[in-house]
Amino acid sequence: MSHASLSYSIIRMQPDDWERVRPVRLRALADTPDAFGSTLAREEAFGETDWRERLNGDDRITFLATTKAGDDVGLIGSAPYDGHAGLFSMWVAPEARGVGVGGALVDAVVAWAESQGHAKVLLDVGDNNAPAIALYASKRFEPNGIAGTLPPPRDHITEHQRELIL
Ligand SMILES: CC(C)(COP(=O)(O)OP(=O)(O)OC[C@H]1O[C@@H](n2cnc3c(N)ncnc32)[C@H](O)[C@@H]1OP(=O)(O)O)[C@@H](O)C(=O)NCCC(=O)NCCS
């Protein structure tokens, strides 16, 4: 895939890639803590087994976006969520935003979910996270009426669920 200012690829990560995924995920949690249910402190404490577990299994998938220059600039994952495919961990590095990387990562998860026979892709997004809401809306994810908050002590951050019917 390419854009006037950035050439990149979307690649599937396997358990043996855990040391490549770890710094990207930790950078995401440090960069945008309130966009995620998990925290930097929690995942900094993860060991090899935790990282491998997240990357292992037929019911889940992780994709990385990597530039032609070899910089890893985006991450997304899917895992089971209420009997459907959940979309999690969406993040694009600030220096690579606005050129389609996020859209390409969403497309990769949606194509994978479809290939697995899922009927829906579900995600939660912060009510004030305008860039993410715009991205998901552009990919036809619609609010499904379910609302919630991040876990305490961040329960002042409200979020809503969106779904894409496949
Ligand atoms: C949300 C995020 C993933 C978007 O990634 P991105 O690579 O910049 O998105 P894209 O360039 O693929 O944009 C796709 C569409 O999303 C929308 N969009 C993305 N960023 C936007 C912004 N800042 N303002 C308005 N719309 C935006 C646009 O509709 C865009 O389509 P267009 O370029 O045709 O107008 C990125 O801003 C990010 O990582 N944010 C921090 C982490 C986060 O909030 N994750 C989501 C957790 S639910």
We report the CATH number of the domain holding residue 100 as 3.40.630.30
Q: What is the pLDDT of residues 28-84, one digit of tens each?
A: 999 999 999 999 999 999 999 999 999 999 999 999 999 999 999 999 999 999 999
The pLDDT score that the predictor gives to residue 4 is 58
| Contact predicate 120/161, CB 8 Å | no
- Count of structural domains within the chain: 1
Q: What is the pLDDT of residues 101-127, one digit of tens each?
A: 999 999 999 999 999 999 999 999 999
- Residue position matching structure tokens 């019917």: 165
Q: What is the pLDDT of residues 16-31, one digit of tens each?
A: 999 999 999 999 999 9
Rounded Cα gap, residues 87 and 110, in angstroms: 9
Q: Which of 85, 83, 66, 78 is nearest to 23 (CA)?
A: 66
Report, as an integer, the average pLDDT of 130-154. Answer: 97
**Which of 92, 105, 122 should be mutated for ligand 1, with most atoms under 8 A from CB?**
92
CA atoms 86, 164, 91, 104: torsion sign:
positive
- Residue position matching structure tokens 């599937």: 12
Q: Return the DSSP state at 150.
A: P
Task: Tell me, using a 6 A CB cutoff, whether residue 75 lines ligand 1.
Answer: no
The CA 100 to ligand 1 mean position distance, Å, reads 8
From the CA of 105, give the closest atom in ligand 1. Answer: 12
The model carries a pTM of 0.97
- Residue position matching structure tokens 């959940």: 86
Quote the domain boundaries for residue 138.
Answer: 2-165
C-alpha angle 120/123/125, rounded to 5°? 150
Q: Which residues are CB-neighbours of 32 under 8 A, at least 6 positions away?
A: 91
Report, as an integer, the average pLDDT of 138-154. Answer: 97
Task: Tell me, using a 6 A CB cutoff, whether residue 101 lines ligand 1.
Answer: yes
